[in-house]
Chains A and B, each alone.
Chain A
């Protein structure tokens, strides 16, 4: 399993309080329970803290699923 996907899965499990959640690159707001706008803010906050990165304004709007998010995190980590 992709290490970023694995770490994101752990963050999602905590934030959404779903210990058995399986996250894939295709996961998105419509196929993951309770991934609403409030949970999304907490997810972003926790992801930023975990990787010590900061998403720029607007950067997150174009993401359509977890796969896109992983790719963006990878770009951010490479630029550090």
Chain B
């Protein structure tokens, strides 16, 4: 398996075509249509983006605007764009595309007029795309200008170009924060990390109108690929950490807890403390932390009781310290957390452990962090593994949620009768028709649920928006709470009406609420909605994949009748006459959705 992260940038350009051929051979790539509206020549960017997306499991198709026609193609003549029907439109402009920069002698009022005029032009672009297409928009903000003719004053004076671009960036951020259809790519940050002198490529700009160096385009492409992964709910969720010489200096089993390097006493200890702080900041924004270490468990846990340890045991969602091979422990962690190991990032100072984990676990990310603690965080950051498209309350409370799952498992053991256990959970479900407030979460679930998913159909936010407007569809979401807390939005059913039959295009559920009878509750509310719309029959489909074997008998268990096999031999078709249906939910209280 090729790891594209380890390939040098020069080789990405030199061997692009053969890399592309090898990566395209993978099975099950997910199609994605990307329109690039560029203010400069974007071919190299698209070429590199294609490689990174292929390596992430996507099959991209590109449409690029004619050179510099980003505004015209979006606003004046969007017909080509409409015909291409992109899922993502990337508006890629630079500081050179700005039409007028404020003059050197410029009042506050004039300065603001220039800002408003420029932002207004971009608003036209975004609005036209929103109006004409059901695509996600990605707009980059601006790098700082290549020259600061006023020196340091360039960032202060109304006539300073630096000040002007920073003001535009602030307006772009405001626009993106208020509009889920508009995602901002932070070119200001990306270019700064590279350095402006290595960002702009004037020879290629004057020669071919390519503004960025290959290094710059590569950084842009990596960042865009991580945004696409995030849009499709494929960002990673778990950081799996080794202990000795990864989270602290020294070997706790040999040196003892008193001798490990952590705290503020030595430079080395401070560096490990800084890395623990970085891990804690990931935890606080919703990334799960797990430990996988070759150690005696009892001794390993003492490291977290060290008074200077920033990370405490309560931050670790799953703790594996034993002498089994690490890849086996990581697979066990994946089972316990109910998450795919392909959403994991593994950090270990030992190259041999990295190599075996990478070889044995398909899809796991194993950054080459080396063995110097001062570099770990930077290298993990470069991988852009944990990119979010927005911070939902869901993300922030996820860590708490997985913890209460563990408590539930403990409780389960004490009941002889399963129904009694379910009753003890005091579950209540809010089940209702799709609403805007939840569409982002719904899109996210359709893109990341693989196991309890009958058809594995993926939907973008924009597609769901149009479905919500279409009265042929009955879309239901389900949220589940219990005595341990709120599980959030965990199930989706989407039916499409044809005459008096409702075709169930989608039925999925998060695996964290398996075996809780949520499917019965969803069916009850679905039937209620279907009857109200004079529908007589529900028709369900099971499209088998490598991952959804657990729902092969889903419709059978719900009492649907098997029909003749569908056009695809593997698929099965089921139907349920709902004229005599009576509600079945026993252990969940179904609540009316709160309006609003």
Contact = CB atoms under 8 A, between A and B. Distances in A.
Classify the secondary structure of A's interface with B: helix
Contacts of A49: 10, 13
B393 interface: no
A79 interface: no
Given A38-B43, A41-B44, A45-B214, A57 B206 contact: yes
B18 A17 contact: yes
A15 B15 CA distance: 6
B14 A17 contact: no
A37 to B, nearest CB: 8
Interface in B1-60: 10, 13-18, 21, 43-44
Interface residues of B, number: 17
Contacts of A72: none
B540 to A, nearest CB: 46
B13 A42 contact: yes
Contact of B17 (A11, A15, A55, A60): A15
Interface in B495-533: none
A41 B208 contact: yes
Given A38-B43, A41-B44, A45-B214, A57 B203 contact: yes
A14 B203 contact: no
Contacts of B14: 11, 14-15, 46
Contacts of B567: none
B44 A46 contact: no
Contacts of A55: 203
B307 interface: no
A16 B17 contact: yes
B596 interface: no
B259 interface: no
Interface string A18-29: 000000000000
A15 B19 CA distance: 11
The residue among B17, B21, B204, B206 with the most chain A CB atoms within 10 A of its own CB is B17
Given A15-B14, A46-B10, A54 B203 contact: yes
Contacts of B151: none
A42 B208 CA distance: 11
B207 interface: yes
A38 B424 CA distance: 66
B207 A14 contact: no
Given A38-B43, A45-B214, A46-B10, A17 B204 contact: no
A17 B13 contact: no
Interface string A50-72: 00001111001000000000000
B53 to A, nearest CB: 19
A7 to B, nearest CB: 12
A17 B10 contact: no
Interface residues of A, number: 16
Contacts, number: 37
Contacts of A41: 43-44, 204, 208, 210
Contacts of B44: 41-42
Contact of A42 (B16, B18, B203, B207): B16
Contacts of B210: 41
Contact of A14 (B18, B43, B204, B214): B18
Interface in B364-381: none
The residue among B13, B14, B16, B208 with the most chain A CB atoms within 10 A of its own CB is B14
B2 to A, nearest CB: 16
Nearest to A41: B208
A33 B333 CA distance: 52
A57 B204 CA distance: 9
A41 B204 CA distance: 9
B17 A17 contact: yes
Interface in B189-232: 203-204, 206-208, 210, 214
Contacts of B13: 15, 42, 45-46, 49
Interface string B110-140: 0000000000000000000000000000000
Contacts of B203: 54-57
Nearest to B20: A17
Nearest to A16: B17
Contact of A17 (B21, B207, B208, B214): B21
Contacts of A14: 14-15, 17-18
Nearest to A15: B14
Contacts of B206: 57
Contacts of B208: 41
A57 B207 contact: yes
Nearest to B10: A49
A57 to B, nearest CB: 6
Contacts of A16: 17
Nearest to A39: B17
A17 B15 CA distance: 8
A38 B209 CA distance: 12
A62 B451 CA distance: 61
A56 B202 CA distance: 11
Interface string B541-563: 00000000000000000000000
A6 B525 CA distance: 72
A39 B476 CA distance: 50
A42 B9 CA distance: 12
6 contacts: A15-B14, A38-B43, A41-B204, A41-B210, A42-B16, A46-B10
Given A16-B17, A57-B206, 20 more contacts: A14-B15, A14-B17, A14-B18, A15-B14, A17-B17, A17-B18, A17-B21, A38-B43, A41-B204, A42-B16, A42-B44, A45-B13, A45-B204, A45-B214, A46-B10, A49-B10, A54-B203, A56-B203, A57-B203, A57-B207
